[in-house]
Amino acid sequence: MSQPRRRAARGPSNIGVEIDSDRTRVIQPRRPGSEEIRRALEIPHLGGAIDSSALRNALRGFSGRDAVVAPPSDELELRPVRLPRLEGDELREAARWEAASALGVDGADLVAEPIVVSGQPGEDGRMEMLVIAGRASRITSLLEPLFEAGLRPIAVEPGFMAAARVFTRRSRRDAERDEVRLVIEVGMEGSWLVVMRGDAVVFAKSVKIGASDIHREISRDLGISESEAVSTRIDAVEERLDGLVLEAVRDCVRRSTRPIVEEASMALRYATVSARLGRARSVHVSGPAGRSPGLAEALDAAFPGVPLEIDHVLDAHLDADPTISGCGGASSWVRAYGLAIRPSVAREIAA
């Protein structure tokens, strides 16, 4: 049987939809894979849920309706597993029941997506995988307002994978397919560490440390309220602080994020020693608290010789949009943008 050849995706770019606990971010590049932004919007949740009417009205100006969606982080579970070498629906079915057993839940209400992280099976014939699982009923309820607003969700994936994609989108070139990168995403309540080889995930782990821990540390250290601590950290990020206050914020960030740095060090050790992937090319930091002063210095000290890279070109394009610059800036929109540039499933044509 002849092999199918793939036709490049055409038409408008996907729409990235990141559903957070209290808001939904929606973004669309001007063209598929473009760093230029057609439109971005942020919709606060009313009563803890997406307002489909508000979303429908806000979608004017977007092109097309295909959406790639990330549910809130606590809706998905990640588990490392070892499974036989299977493919397609057979592999997904095995992953679903393996995840159900690991989580102690009913497999009938579970959806699971396996990611193969080992190149070759072990002596037992099994492959190392990461299984991403979520409750089907819960995910369906999250998608309903999007359908009501006129969107067509074509894929659901964890936000941390979307964030990692942003920094590896140029790694599809042959010369860079084996390059190892560490992506650290510092969120509000927790963080994710993702080791990538080219554009493939080889390791992922969550760390229960986020911006809220930084704010509590600043509040205690400076004797201010947590709301004032939030403003103080943001002032430090935007270079509106100096002197002793700035140095105190840096110390608070270094102390509170020490578990992130330690786990990141172990993640790279796994990549270089256990998985034998070689030395990391770079470290990337994203997320709402990724640019807190003091974190970059701590990472530099932990990984001497491995540069901490920032995508200034993408940041400039994102921050050029007034919605993005006014709603947390480029670092807070990395997940949503990563969803929007997820490669579409190409149509297959018989050769």
Name the residue with higher pLDDT: 173 or 196: 196
Residue in the structure block whose two tokens are 């270079």: 239
pLDDT in tens, 92-124: 888 888 888 888 888 888 888 888 876 677 778
Average per-residue pLDDT in the chain?
Answer: 87
Domain ranges of the chain: 5-73+140-209+258-349, 211-256
Could you tell me which of 45, 327, 324, 19 has the C-alpha nearest to residue 151? 19
Task: Give me the percent of the chain exceeding a pLDDT of 70.
Answer: 92
Concatenating the DSSP letter of every residue in 107-149 gives GGGEEEEEEE--SS--TTSEEEEEEEEEEHHHHHHHHHHHHHT
Domain 5-73+140-209+258-349 homologous superfamily, CATH: ATPase, nucleotide binding domain (3.30.420.40)
Question: What's the pTM?
Answer: 0.85
| Residue 319 CA to its chain's centroid (Å) | 19
Residue 57 has pLDDT above 50, yes or no: yes
From residue 25, give the alpha-carbon distance in Å to each of 71, 259, 289, 332: 11, 28, 17, 10
Cα separation, 297 vs 295, whole angstroms:
5
Q: What is the pLDDT of residues 221-249, one digit of tens each?
A: 999 999 999 999 999 998 898 899 999 99
